[in-house]
Amino acid sequence: MKIVYHIKSQNASYLLHWLINTKFVDSNNLERKIILIPIGAIEGWVLDALEKDLAATFNCKVERHNPIQISADAFNPARKQYFSSFILKKLHALLEAEKKEIVLAIADVDLYAEGLNFVFGEAEFGGQFAVISITRLRQSFYSLPENKDVFIDRAKKEAVHELGHVFGLEHCPDAECVMHFSNSLLDTDRKSSSFCSRCQAHLEKLIK
């Protein structure tokens, strides 16, 4: 049976097919899956690291989608940033995710949300779509020497954090839990990439 992603564009419609070798597939029993979608050019090694980490963290299959381009309408010239909520809306317009599929977009542009100077990412709470930005996770953004280990550790934390919201987890008061709100990069560096025991237990209930 074919599982179909219908990707819409102004010029044409494309169908990407994933084949499942069974005679019948009940949508309620489909394997939970995370789809990584680069927005623009994202380094392959970054996607490799995220794919491996997210598969282990959420114990599910992770697939990589072809890159898509960010909408120019999402850019705010006055702020020189991209509006994260607008990007989420565009993802909805471009992609139709299956019931147990979660889409995580990775962008290398500076994001903001209403009332905030910037955001590392945004997610639909209990929904299917999330986006993270890796721009402010780089040491070079702060005119510091680049450090790949520090950078990818931050990226993993932000990816897990936003996906945690998609699964239904709220912010956690434990400063070391990955679900703790990062008001600054110091908060991200301080917390771990793992869920605290309370959030882990809640997550296990939510994904059953």
Active site residues: 162
**104 closest CA partner among 58, 150, 39, 59:** 39
**First vs last Cα of the chain: how many Å apart?**
24
Closest CA to 106 of 92, 120, 85: 120
Bridge pairing between strands 101-107 and 129-133: parallel
Length of the chain: 208
Hey, is 57 helix, strand or coil? helix
CA distance to 71, 82, 134, 182, per residue, from 89 (Å):
11, 13, 20, 23
Residue 125, beta-bridge partner list: none
Cα-only R_g, the chain = 17
